[in-house]
Structure 1
Amino acid sequence: MDHGNMPPSSPSSMVNHTNSNMIMMHMTFFWGKNTEILFSGWPGTSLGMYVLCLIVVFLLAVIVEWLAHSSILRGRGSTSRAKGLVQTAVYTLKTGLAYLVMLAVMSFNGGVFIVAIAGFAVGFMLFGSTAFKNPSDDEKPFEQL
């Protein structure tokens, strides 16, 4: 088929030929409560559901940090197969939750991005930093590094 005589198609002319049931996905950050995050129709257009969504994303990020810094994943102590299976299950859960946070951020909603970063920061401060830890025998204090 010869397309030599046809004018080049522009992106705006291609939009006219798309299915009207397709959902427009943002590819840049935007602000507002009218968004879809993780599931179709959630949180919808309700401000209360949007706030709930932000709380869920924040808590997911905190839980990811908690799991990442839990003693189960460090592998100290016995080396049984059962402990290895538990470590694998916890690691898998942590990775799955981290991907859920990533997918939520991929909604490009500015509020979701901010609460995800805040959740990771709070989670690290509580569970990963030395701010709330007592140095144990097997961990050197930060000043001695």
Structure 2
Amino acid sequence: MEMPPGPMPKGSTNSNNTMMNMMMQMSFYWGKDATILFHGWPDNRLGMYVLALFFVFLLAFAIEVLSILPDVKPTSTNPMLGTLIQTIIYTFRMGFAYLVMLSVMSFNLGIFIAALAGHFVGFFLVKSRALSAPKPTETTSCTVVIPKV
């Protein structure tokens, strides 16, 4: 049975129209016409696309910064409070990681490069600070025994 042309009755769907709306880009592409995280965002305007690039960069950067925070030992004497703080930081880090992953799954090369750049800058700054931090000096005594001949 063929549907007559014209408006669709309420509650019915056109399979071709539904398939076109559900199609998603499955290979990398360039361009500002992307859907990132939410339907209709960044709404195909260049300014919103640049904002989306900056947002993904900041998320990736935050992941790297948050990766060193669990190593920071809490100053309180309550170990449960310290564990709770580390758990909250870890939860935010994982949430940001999932958001970056979902953004990259838009297959937009600009978003992919922004995510890589955020991880690059964040890792570089975090590791350069860690390497430049003074290390505690260890004093060890060593006794050398020389046998008599």
- Does TM, normalized by the shorter one, top 0.5? yes
By how many angstroms is 1:38 displaced? Answer: 0.3
Letter of the 2:91 partner, please give it.
Answer: T
- Once the two structures are superposed, residues 71-117 of structure 1 have per-residue CA deviations (whole angstroms, 9 ceiling, x without a partner) of xx015365610110010000000000011000000000000000100
**Is residue 126–residue 132 contact of structure 1 (8 Å, CA) maintained in 2?**
no
Partner of 1:25: 24
Which deviations, in whole Å up to 9, do the C-alpha atoms of 1:1-20 show, x marking residues without a partner?
Answer: xxxxxxxxxxxxxxx94425
Q: Distance in 1 between matches of 2:31 and 2:130?
A: 35
Choose 1 or 2 for highest CA Rg.
2
Q: Tell me the TM-score normalised to structure 1 length.
A: 0.75
Q: Partner of 1:51 in structure 2?
A: 50
**Alpha-carbon offset, residue 44 of structure 1:** 1.1
The 5-angstrom pairing of residues 28-107 of structure 1 reads: 28-70=27-69, 73-74=70-71, 76=73, 80-107=79-106
Q: Distance in 1 between matches of 2:128 and 2:87?
A: 24
- Which residue in 2 is equivalent to 1:110? 109
Deviation beyond 3 Å, 4+ runs, structure 1: 75-79, 129-132
Contact 1:65 1:128 in 2 (8 A): no
Equivalent pair of 2:37/2:103 in contact (CA under 8 Å): yes
C-alpha separation in 2, matches of 1:130 and 1:86: 22
Give me the CA root mean square deviation: 2.2
Residues 21 and 29 (structure 1), Cα distance of their counterparts in 2 relative to 1, 3 Å cut: closer
2:133 corresponds to 1:134: yes
* In 2, Cα distance between equivalents of 1:129 and 1:26: 38
